Structures are given as C-alpha cells and as structure tokens.
Amino acid sequence: MKTTVRLWRRPVLAQRRAFSSSARRLDNYAFIGLGQMGYQMARNLQAKLPPSDIIRVFDINKAAADKLVQEMASQQAGGASAQVAQSAADAARDADTLITCLPEPKHVKSTYDAILSVYGSVQKEDMGTQFKSRLFIDCSTIDPTSSREVANAVSTALPNGVGNFVDAPMSGGVVGATAGTLTFMLGAPESLLGRIEPILLRMGKRVLHCGPQGAGLSAKLANNYLLAIENIATAEAMNLGVKWGLDPKVLASVINVSTGKCWPSEINNPVPGVVETAPASRDYAGGFGIGLMRKDLKLAILAAKEAGAELPLADKASEVYEAAESEERCKGRDFSVVYRWLGGKE
C-alpha cells in the first residue's frame, strides 16, 4: 500500500476549466446529505460551477434541500442550475459526479444501495455506451472497511471502469465548509486525480492524496485518534497546573514553547480565557462537537482492531468522552469540554 502523502497541488485544472471559452458538455452533479457540512459544501460547489452545469441535491430532511435550492437560486453571481431531487436514486440517475456527506457507515451503505439500484435494469454490456463514467465521492467520516465494501458494491454494479467510488473525508469543520477552505484526505487511484481535485477544490483549499481507495479515511482516523488523546491530556495537564496554583495563561505559554505543545494547548485550549477565540472562552459552544469526537474515536478503534494495531489508551479515552457527553453541562459542546468534566476551574 502507498505510504507517501503527496501534498497539495495548485488548482490549475479548476482554473483552466472555469475560464475556458471553448464549448464544453454539460456536467451533472448530485449532492446527498445537506447537514452542517454538506449544506455549505454543496452551496460552494454550485456557486463555482458554470451556469451550464446542473446540480441536484437530496436530503431525507426535505426542508434542508428546499432551503438550499432557494438560496442557490437567489445568488446573484450565477453558478450551476440547482434542483431538489426526490430520492437518492433520483439524484443519482443522471449525475456523472455524485458527492455524499452522511453521518455514519449505515447511512452511507443504505444510500449507495439506493443509488446503485438505478443501474440494476441496465444490461452490463450496454453500460459503457449508455453511461458517461460515474464518479462517486464520499466525504463522510466512516471506517475504511465499510468504505471498501461500498467501493466493491459500486464496481460490481458498474463494471469496466464505468463507476468509481473514492473516499475524501475532510477537516476544517463547519467554519471551513462555509468558507470553502476544507482540507480533503483523498483515497483514490492516481489516474482519477485530475478529475477529482478540481471538484474538491471548489469546496476546499487543499487535497492530500493519501493512497488508494480507503487511504483517506485511514489518514483521517489516525489523525483524529491522536487529537482525541491530546485533547484529554491537555485538559488533564491544565487542570493539574491550575490545582497546583499556576496561572492557566502562564502554564499554556510554557507548554506552547515546550515539548507538550499541540493543537489543543495552543489553538483550542480547554481553559476559558486562555485563548479568546477558543470554544472554551464561549462556554464551549461551536467547535468540534464531543459527539463527533466520540464517533471518530469509535471508528479508529474498530479500524485498529481490524489492522491488529494495539491502542492501549483508546478504551479509556472512549470512556472519558462517553461519560462527559452523558452530562447535560457537557453534551453537544466542543470536545475541549472534557476540562469541565474533570472539574477544572472556569
């Protein structure tokens, strides 16, 4: 398996395509899953596509799709023509690029079951001629094994390279999704990069190609596992220092020029008032929800078991997030709220 990460490449293709004056065929897009992330991503994608393209959106929450299409239509600066689809299969029917952004593995699997049912009635030998090649980009954070299962289902339903399923989980949160500055961790064959990158760069600013299908999710889960541990350790160390009588700002300034420095200590410090822009300084509102951290940790543990990798700290970390989330004063807040759960001084 490929281990090197080829870093971001400039969005040359995206620019070239958007400003091309030559006639080009109409491209059909579909976007499924219009929650906190997907809504904003679909909005950015649509705004940056030429008016000759079409984007069809679907969510089981129809109100979200209606609202998004209304918002897209009211945009002054053009963008692709937008429509509400009636189901996942309806969204997929004519789409040559379909993007999904769904909560959990079960939602991704059931959505692709519905999507692939569209192709069931077509004779295999007719597929190459009846269909333009289909690209399925899943941006959901799920486990690599579930993602590979869906990739296999796609290649069974759409053989001969007519369909390709790739994983592109992202980081940057709702703020990055809104601003179009997400980072995507891509698991895809090299041969598809030229097609995928310009699409992702309409919703983000960086695409990190991590290897073949599934590799984007492996990279994402390894990173989030590390973050899960660092966040708890930072909350413990800050609480310890404060209990010893240290000023939390002084302690953070020592850590942040020393070997304990990490994202939770420097950017997302869990003690209110240490970093004014951190969620801790606004009652832990916004940020990266503790429920999402718990979910990503669970997925990392599952994937580690399958790979035979020991994670001695993982079960304890899971217990901490579960216990914190079960308390009303922590539920639904940024994951740095673990400091509050520990009884930290606020």
Comparing CB distances to ligand NAD, the nearer of 140 and 234 is: 140
Piece of 8-16, 42-50, 69-77, 104-112 that binds ligand NAD (CB under 6 A): 104-112
Pick from 28, 97, 111, 239 the residue near ligand NAD by CB under 6 A.
Answer: 111
35 binds ligand NAD (CB under 6 A): yes
Is 261 labeled as catalytic in the residue annotation? no
In the bound complex, what is the minimum distance in angstroms from residue 232's beta carbon to ligand NAD?
Answer: 19
140 binds ligand NAD (CB under 6 A): yes
Pick from 6, 9, 17, 107 the residue near ligand NAD by CB under 6 A.
Answer: 107
288 binds ligand NAD (CB under 6 A): yes
Token look-up 């679907």 returns 58
118 binds ligand NAD (CB under 6 A): no
Radius of gyration of the chain (CA): 22
For residues 204 and 70, give the distance between their C-alpha atoms in angstroms, rounded to a whole number. Answer: 23
33 binds ligand NAD (CB under 6 A): yes
Q: Give, for 213, the enclosing helix (H) or strand (E).
A: none
In the bound complex, what is the minimum distance in angstroms from residue 89's beta carbon to ligand NAD?
Answer: 11
Catalytic site residue from 2, 62, 124, 220? 220
Distance from first CA to last CA of the chain, Å, rounded? Answer: 47
**CA-closest candidate to residue 245, choices 326, 342, 345:** 345
Query: How many chain residues touch ligand NAD (CB under 6 A)?
Result: 27
For residues 339 and 318, give the distance between their C-alpha atoms in angstroms, rounded to a whole number. Answer: 15
141 binds ligand NAD (CB under 6 A): yes
User: What is the three-class DSSP state of 85?
Assistant: coil
**Residues paired with 54 in a beta bridge:** 28, 81
Pick from 173, 260, 286, 291 the residue near ligand NAD by CB under 6 A.
Answer: 173
Token look-up 């001629």 returns 129
For residues 45 and 47, give the distance between their C-alpha atoms in angstroms, rounded to a whole number. Answer: 6
Tally Cβ neighbours within 10 Å of residue 257. Answer: 9
32 binds ligand NAD (CB under 6 A): yes
Pick from 28, 29, 31, 38 the residue near ligand NAD by CB under 6 A.
Answer: 38
296, 303 contact by CB (below 8 A):
no
Q: Footprint of ligand NAD on residues 54-83 (CB under 6 A)?
A: 58-61, 64
User: In degrees to the nearest 10, what's the CA dihedral of 168, 169, 174, 180?
Assistant: -20
In the bound complex, what is the minimum distance in angstroms from residue 283's beta carbon to ligand NAD?
Answer: 18
For residues 92 and 37, give the distance between their C-alpha atoms in angstroms, rounded to a whole number. Answer: 20
268, 278 contact by CB (below 8 A):
yes
In the bound complex, what is the minimum distance in angstroms from residue 255's beta carbon to ligand NAD?
Answer: 25
Catalytic residues: 220
Interface with ligand NAD by CB under 6 A: which residues?
32-38, 58-61, 64, 88, 101-103, 107, 110-111, 140-141, 170-171, 173-174, 288, 292
